[in-house]
Amino acid sequence: MDFTTTPAPDKASPFIEFDNITVFHGEKKVLDALSVMLRQGENVAILGPNGAGKSTFIKTILREFYPCLDGNKVTFRICGKDVWDVFDLRSAFGVVSNDLQFTFTRQITGREVILSGFFSSIGLFNREITPEMDRKADDILAFLEIGHICDRPMTEMSSGEARRFLIGRAMVHDPEVLILDEPTNSLDLHALHAFRQTIRKIAQSGTGIILVTHNLQDIIPEISRVILMKNGRFEHDGPKETLLTDRYIGHLFEVPVHVKEENGYYYATGY
């Protein structure tokens, strides 16, 4: 990751190219012929109700799930490549999910959480930490402004503090794209504010953001493109000014809402 401020390129090369991606969980079709193209450095939000298939889409990007090949032409390409070593692929992404936080139940310090990102583990287990890894951890702690609490165990941190260390863990491999899966669940207002500022700073540094959420207010101003997802399908894909409206959001969540914008953030009220 480049920690200087560089604007995201407008017409960068494709990062994710999916066409006709269908995924089943058992008998159930959970992703239904999805097609999408995301460019390098692009910031996008995938918004939809619970059960829409958002997490399954993310897990399909990370090749935890694979599309079914039903005779139709399928494109399943990342960074121009169809075939990937899964470890290399996952290093291209940093992933922060609400679930991940609950896997850190032992007395691991914040700094150890960040370093564990180098080993894709939950803790260090006597692994050798190189001076280069230590330097990287220092850079990340400074960038995220969490160095002052890095020796505290995760179990003694607030949800908001812990979430920022998970972002740090996701950044160790300088990912091209940071994936945030329902990242603000269980954060109070203060923590939500700090978290948004952190994500905005990362987006402004040129790292792409893929945000998956059911909360409109998670969509930071740097995200201009929104994909509305329901029943395993991408129903609409376009600029947020067009899609974050009473009509589209009311239809998406099947409830009458009033959507308002304030200081670059969107809120749904009246439901």
Q: Which residues bind ligand ADP (CB under 6 A)?
A: 25-26, 30, 48, 50-56
Any idea which residue has 């996952």 for tokens?
A: 90
CB of 28 to ligand ADP, least distance (A): 6
CB of 49 to ligand ADP, least distance (A): 7
Minimum CB distance to ligand ADP smaller for 85 or for 99: 99
Minimum CB distance to ligand ADP smaller for 185 or for 204: 185
Give the up-direction half-sphere exposure of residue 145: CA atoms within 13 A in the CB hemisphere: 7
At a CB cut-off of 8 Å and minimum separation 6, what does 128 contact?
none
CB of 235 to ligand ADP, least distance (A): 13
CB of 52 to ligand ADP, least distance (A): 4
Residue 2's alpha-carbon distances to 52, 80, 180, 207, in angstroms, are: 34, 22, 19, 8
Cα–Cα distance measured from residue 134 to residue 115, given in angstroms and rounded to the nearest whole number:
8
CB of 231 to ligand ADP, least distance (A): 9
DSSP code at position 7: P
CB of 65 to ligand ADP, least distance (A): 8
Minimum CB distance to ligand ADP smaller for 139 or for 237: 237
Query: E strands of 26-113, at which residues?
Result: 28-39, 43-47, 75-78, 93-97
In terms of DSSP bridges, do strands 258-262 and 265-269 run parallel, antiparallel, or are they unpaired? antiparallel
Minimum CB distance to ligand ADP smaller for 45 or for 157: 45
Minimum CB distance to ligand ADP smaller for 41 or for 53: 53
Minimum CB distance to ligand ADP smaller for 26 or for 71: 26
* Structure tokens, 81: 């490549």
Region of residue 261 (left: phi > 0; alpha: psi -120 to 50; beta: else): beta
At a CB cut-off of 8 Å and minimum separation 6, what does 27 contact?
none
